[in-house]
Amino acid sequence: MPVIAVHTAQDWCAAPDAVLEGLRDAAMAAWSLEPAALTLLWRPYAAGRMIAPANRGARYCLIEIAMLAGRSPELKQSLALACIAALARLGAPAADIDICFSESRPADWLVAGRPLP
């Protein structure tokens, strides 16, 4: 069920599809997920539409991971590290990557138009 959204400046990455594929592969490996269980989003912002923290570089990324509550800190850490490694392989320094987890109860999700049990 995770949704992984990457917020970044639009001009640094020539191949966002490669970023998303790398993140998909990382998430599948870190959590043993099937591709159908993931939603991945690349959200580039035009110049002046994103103000990154002052100590970050031009390839700053904020990764938001929305998921069902209940995963262990170790599982979250493994996904975070896998995401950082995937972006680093494509040129985003680890120091320019922030990750935020958002957890929701199953009652707060609908999948394929139906509430989760």
* Structural domain count, the chain: 1
pTM, to two decimals: 0.88
Q: How do residues 29-68 score in pLDDT, each as one tens digit? A: 888 888 788 999 999 999 889 999 999 998 999 999 999 8
Q: Rounded to whole angstroms, what are the CA distances from 48 to 10, 23, 45?
A: 11, 26, 8
Owning domain of residue 107: 3-115
- Torsion angles phi and psi, residue 26, rounded to 5: -65, -45
Residue 110 has a CB neighbour count (10 Å cut-off) of: 9
> Contact, 64 vs 40, CB < 8 A?
no
Contact in structure between 87 and 97 (CB atoms under 8 Å): yes
Cross-strand bridge partners of residue 8: 44, 61
53-111 per-position pLDDT tens digit? 999 998 999 999 999 899 999 999 999 998 999 889 888 999 999 999 999 998 898 88
In the DSSP assignment, the letter for residue 59 is T
Any idea what the CATH number is for the domain that residue 96 is in? Answer: 3.30.429.10
